[in-house]
Structure formats: C-alpha cells, structure tokens
C-alpha cells in the first residue's frame, strides 16, 4: 500500500461520503472478509504496514490453512534458476524500455502544477533533475520513495505481510497465483496508463509526502489495520485519490477491484476454499472488493 514502495505503494481521509461509513469493529484483530457460495469460500484479507507478525492471528492462520491456494497482487523477481541467461537478458532489456522513455521527458508527462511540486521535492530530497529526466512516472515514483525513506530513520524493520503469507503457503505446498505474475507485468500496467493518470500518480505521492511534513501518517495510523480499524491515514489517502485524482482512482480502485471481484466470483464457482491477500485500500469504501462482490449477489461477511 505507502512504505513498501513508500513501503506499501498504494495504501495509504476527513471522512466523506460512502467511505466515511466504514464500520469500526470492536475486536482488536485484523478484519477478514469471507465470500460464500454454498460450501465454497474465498477469504479476503486487506493488509497494510507491519513491524512484526502480531497481525497473524489464529483466525488468519486458520483461514490460510483451510485454503487450497493463495492469491497476491504482484510477484517479485523470477526465482533463481528459472530463466536462462538469454531470457534474463531479454527480460532486463524489456524492463529498461518500460522504465525509460525516448522522445519526451518525465517532466513532459506531468501537469504544470505537479511538475512544479516535483521539482521542489527533487531539490529537497537531493535528487538531480537529470537523473530522473528519462524515466517514466512509475519509475520516478520509486526513485522519490527511496530517497524519501533514505533520509528517515525507522525504529523497526518492516515486515512484508504478503511475503510472510507467501512463505507459509509455499511451505504448505499451496498453489500461489497473482494479479500481476511478474515485475514486467506490473511495469507494463503502470507504463501504459494515460498521461493524466500518470501525472496524478506523482501528485498523489507528493500529497502523501506532504502529510508526513504535517505530522500525519504516524505509526498509530499506519498500524491501525492490525486492530481492525483502517485508520485516518488510509481513508484520507483513498478519499483524496477519489476526489483530487479521479483518473488515477478509476484505474487503481474500481478497475483493479473489479478484476479482484471477478476473480473471487470465479473461485467461488470452482468450489473449495481460497485466500486473497491485497493492500488494504482495495477492501475499503464503496468501490472496494467486498462491496463489488455484494453487487454481484455474493454473500460477504466480515470477521471479526
């Protein structure tokens, strides 16, 4: 969601509209949604930033244990030994083309107000303009994030929730699937977004960075999902994406959440039990995966 690419690239709102109506559970455990069709079940787990495994409650463990497969958003690099040297070289060349663009610059894609904000942040973070000049916005996003966190000392070592779940699933011999099965698939998705959405992606990031300067997005907000409450930070960020950067919102929320809702619907049709783990923004609000499944006529309940 933002500390795993701001650590969690798309997490992390005054609360307004349908988003403000997210319930506040009385339990002190992470929320887990369960979609049902007869005896078939799909567990949907929306997670955020973590500094330990306190989120891995008996409820979450049991749900994963009962599932035959795990679905995650994006895979990492190809495991060693699964590609020939020629395949690795070809993949690296494709990633280079997806990260860099010829014929125009990173700044050409940005709307004028976003360009001015970006230049201010580049100077503050000590990033030379020419070092990002040829980058596509999604790759420049990563450069900004890395520079931002390099200047801030973290008192803990972040724990990647999806990495923990992946290790558990693989140890149990479960099948693992992805929305975007390779880093190249993710890079392609980001690179082909319309220019306006790409500019808004940077604008949304800079808003997040500005929040830190105002003392928002503190650790209390970042970890609130572990106690069953999405907290002000993620809700603020989601609501701002919806109202200020609507083109980005449509791609990152309704569009991707529709994909996940269809996938859960298909999994329910196959029978059995399945586990989906996604960034917490994808389970919140009227466009979240649980709400979209309900609109498909699927029974969805929240635990605890």
What digits encode the pLDDT tens for the residues 269-287?
A: 999 999 999 999 999 999 9
17-26, 37-46, 204-213: least confidently modelled range: 17-26
Q: Which two tokens stand for residue 114?
A: 């976003």
Quickly list DSSP for 110-161. Answer: S-HHHHHHHHHHHHHHT--HHHHTTB-HHHHHHHHHHHHHHTS--SS----H
DSSP-derived pairing of the beta strands 273-279 and 69-74:
parallel
In a domain, 18, yes or no: no
State the number of CA atoms in the 13 A half-sphere of 47 facing the CB.
29
**Is 86 or 23 the better-scoring residue by pLDDT?**
86
Domain assignment present for residue 9? The answer is: no
For the ranges 44-53, 71-80, 223-232, the one whose mean pLDDT is highest: 44-53
Q: Which residues lie closer than 8 Å to 271 by C-beta, 6 or more apart? A: 38, 39, 40
The 10s digit of each residue's pLDDT in 100-134 is: 998 999 999 999 999 999 999 999 999 999 999 99
Of the listed ranges 14-18, 66-70, 155-159, 226-230, the least confidently predicted one is 14-18
pTM metric for this prediction: 0.88
Is 162 inside any structural domain? yes
Residue 21 included in any domain: no
Q: What is the mean pLDDT of residues 171-183?
A: 95
Under a CB-based contact definition with an 8 Å cutoff, are residues 2 and 8 in contact?
yes
Confidence of residue 224 (pLDDT cuts 50, 70, 90): confident
The residue that leads in pLDDT, 296 or 229, is 296
Nearest CA to 13 out of 218, 246, 206, 241 is that of 241
Q: What is the pLDDT of residues 79-93, one digit of tens each?
A: 666 778 898 899 899
Distance, in Å, from the CA atom of 112 to the CA atom of 173, rounded to the nearest integer, reads 51
State the residue range of the domain holding 56.
27-76+87-303
Contacts of 297 (CB under 8 A, 6+ apart): none
10 part of a folded domain: no
pLDDT for res 27: 56
Position 235 scores a pLDDT of: 82
* Residue 115 domain-assigned (yes or no): yes
Percentage helix, strand, coil, to 5, in the chain?
55, 15, 35
Write down the pLDDT at residue 81: 64
pLDDT at 80: 62
Separation of first and last alpha carbons in the chain: 22
What's the pLDDT at 78? 64
In this predicted structure, the answer to whether residue 8 has a pLDDT above a threshold of 50 is no
DSSP 38: T
With respect to residue 1, please indicate whether it lies within any of the assigned structural domains: no
Q: What percent of the chain has pLDDT over 70?
A: 88
DSSP 95: H
14: confidence class by pLDDT, cuts 50, 70, 90: very low
What distance in Å separates the CA atoms of residue 244 and residue 256, rounded to the nearest whole number? 19
Domain count, the chain: 1
What whole-number percentage of the chain has pLDDT above 90? 70
Q: Count CA atoms within 13 Å of residue 234 on its CB side.
A: 32
Residue 223 pLDDT level (bands cut at 50, 70, 90): confident
Residue 5 lies in a domain: no
Mean pLDDT of the residues in the chain: 87
pLDDT band at residue 39 using 50, 70 and 90 as cut-offs? very high
Q: Is 276 helix (H, G, I), strand (E, B) or coil?
A: strand
Confidence of residue 233 (pLDDT cuts 50, 70, 90): confident
pLDDT of residue 100: 95
């Amino acid at each position: 969601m933002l500390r795993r690419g701001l650590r969690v690239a798309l997490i992390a709102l005054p609360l307004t509209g349908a988003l403000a109506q997210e319930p506040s559970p009385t339990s002190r455990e992470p929320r887990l949604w369960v979609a049902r069709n007869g005896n078939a079940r799909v567990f949907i787990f929306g997670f955020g930033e973590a500094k330990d495994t306190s989120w891995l409650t008996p409820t979450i463990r049991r749900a994963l244990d009962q599932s035959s497969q795990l679905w995650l958003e994006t895979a990492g690099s190809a495991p060693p030994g699964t590609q020939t040297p020629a395949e690795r070289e070809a993949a690296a060349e494709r990633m280079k083309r997806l990260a860099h663009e010829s014929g125009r610059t990173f700044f050409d894609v940005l709307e004028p107000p976003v360009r001015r904000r970006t230049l201010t942040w580049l100077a503050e973070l000590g990033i030379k303009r020419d070092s990002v000049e040829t980058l596509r916005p999604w790759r420049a996003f990563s450069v900004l994030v890395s520079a931002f966190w390099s200047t801030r000392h973290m008192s803990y070592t972040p724990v990647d929730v999806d990495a923990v779940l992946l290790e558990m699933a693989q140890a149990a011999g479960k099948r693992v699937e992805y929305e975007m099965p390779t880093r190249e698939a993710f890079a392609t998705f980001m690179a082909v977004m319309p220019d306006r959405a790409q500019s808004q992606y940077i604008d949304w990031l800079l808003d997040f960075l500005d929040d830190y300067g105002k003392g928002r997005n503190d650790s209390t907000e970042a970890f609130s999902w572990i106690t069953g409450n999405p907290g002000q930070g993620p809700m603020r960020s989601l609501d701002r994406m919806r109202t200020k950067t609507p083109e980005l919102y449509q791609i990152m929320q309704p569009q991707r959440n529709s994909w996940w809702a269809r996938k859960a619907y298909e999994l329910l049709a196959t029978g059995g039990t399945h586990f989906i783990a996604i960034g917490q923004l994808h389970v919140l609000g009227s466009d979240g995966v649980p709400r979209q499944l309900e609109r498909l006529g699927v029974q969805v309940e929240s635990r605890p």
